[in-house]
């Protein structure tokens, strides 16, 4: 971030001039805290521009990522910048992008979504990381081979990223815009995503929402207690209440 005036410098990488110009205009009009430091029509042309401008944020078209965007990430990994993907195609693994990237924007870009993505960077200072985007590349490859369920998550920490195996997650507890993940090894991690986001991200074959505040991994349920709504006892001894409107879905899922 620019230390002098707290203005964020942004770089836009997209092979379509119309898309570059539209995004730049939206930022200029609706996001005065962001200054467009430069635009590039390819990853090749973006590399030098990254070093010249030292951006805080980079907007990268997902088509460029699929072609050679990882080269940009690898060559500019020393630059501390947040990376936001843009795409006009729903075919991409948006679940994976949401898991391993700062954020993504669907074209035509919605102003509210754009502001939210920038605010997310301001709140988290989410930076690029080669290992993190290697995981994203794996997920996109898996999607192309019809393997749609993610197996790992990357959680931002003060000194990097913690890579978690999804199978290790016993349950998730939501608290407004944050979620605490409880692992089978006893460790806990706090992530700056909502419980609803994790409900969409984690495999539906194993994870089910049982309460407004809890998403549980069925593999770690030890006992189901009866009652109006009932409750669960997890393998770590945690007692989790089951909402009345979630009870039937839970019982049907377990009975399969």
CATH at 204: 2.40.50.1020
Strand partners, 164: 153
Give the C-alpha separation, 91 to 63, whole Å: 11
If one counts the domains in the chain, the total is 2
**Which among 48, 71, 66, 64 is positioned nearest to 14, based on CA atoms?**
64
**Which among 31, 4, 5, 48 is positioned nearest to 13, based on CA atoms?**
48
Alpha helices in 36-194 (DSSP H): 43-53, 62-64, 70-75, 94-100, 111-124, 130-144
14: pLDDT confidence band, cut at 50, 70 and 90?
confident
Give the C-alpha separation, 114 to 12, whole Å: 13
At 204-241, the pLDDT tens digits run 889 999 999 999 999 999 998 876 668 999 999 999 99
pLDDT recorded at residue 123: 82
The predicted model gives 45-63 an average pLDDT of 86
Given a cut of 90, is residue 183 above it in pLDDT?
Answer: yes
- Residue 193, classed as helix, strand or coil, is coil
Domain match, 20 and 136 both = yes
22: pLDDT confidence band, cut at 50, 70 and 90?
very high
Residue after which a domain boundary falls, among 144, 161, 176: 144
| pTM exceeding 0.85 | no
What are φ and ψ of residue 191, in 5° steps? Answer: -115, 145
Domain match, 134 and 25 both = yes
* Most confident of the following: 42-46, 78-82, 146-150: 42-46
Asked if the structure places residue 229 within a domain, the reply is yes
Domain that holds residue 70: 8-144
> Which pairing describes strands 152-157 and 169-175: parallel, antiparallel, or unpaired?
unpaired
Tokens read off for 128: 């690029």
Residue with more model confidence, 132 or 125: 125
Domain match, 140 and 164 both = no
Residue after which a domain boundary falls, among 93, 118, 144: 144
Region of 240 on the Ramachandran plot (φ > 0 left; ψ -120 to 50 alpha; else beta): beta
Residue after which a domain boundary falls, among 126, 144, 162: 144
Tokens read off for 12: 């836009």
**Which among 217, 208, 134, 214 is positioned nearest to 168, based on CA atoms?**
217
**Which among 176, 153, 247, 170 is positioned nearest to 215, based on CA atoms?**
170
């Amino acid at each position: 971030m620019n230390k002098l005036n707290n203005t964020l410098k942004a770089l836009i990488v997209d092979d379509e001039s119309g898309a570059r110009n539209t995004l730049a205009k939206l930022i200029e009009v609706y996001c005065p805290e962001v200054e467009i430091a430069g635009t590039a029509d390819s990853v090749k042309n973006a590399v030098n521009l990254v070093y010249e401008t030292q951006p805080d944020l980079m907007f990268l078209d997902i088509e460029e990522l699929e072609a050679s965007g990882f080269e940009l990430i690898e060559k500019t990994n020393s630059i501390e910048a947040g990376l936001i993907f843009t795409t006009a195609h729903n075919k991409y693994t948006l679940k994976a992008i949401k898991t391993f990237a700062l954020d993504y924007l669907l074209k035509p870009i919605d102003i509210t979504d754009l502001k939210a993505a920038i605010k997310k960077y301001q709140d988290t200072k989410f930076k690029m990381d080669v290992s993190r985007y290697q995981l994203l590349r794996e997920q996109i490859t898996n999607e192309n081979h019809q393997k749609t369920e993610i197996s790992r998550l990357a959680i931002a920490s003060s000194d990097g990223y913690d890579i978690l195996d999804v199978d290790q997650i016993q349950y998730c507890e939501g608290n407004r815009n944050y979620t605490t993940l409880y692992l089978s090894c006893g460790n806990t991690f706090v992530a700056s995503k909502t419980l609803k986001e994790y409900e969409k991200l984690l495999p539906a074959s194993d994870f089910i929402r049982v309460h407004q505040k809890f998403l549980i991994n069925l593999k770690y349920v030890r006992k189901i207690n009866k009652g109006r709504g009932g409750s669960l006892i997890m393998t770590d001894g945690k007692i989790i209440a089951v909402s009345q409107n979630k009870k039937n879905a839970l019982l049907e899922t377990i009975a399969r």
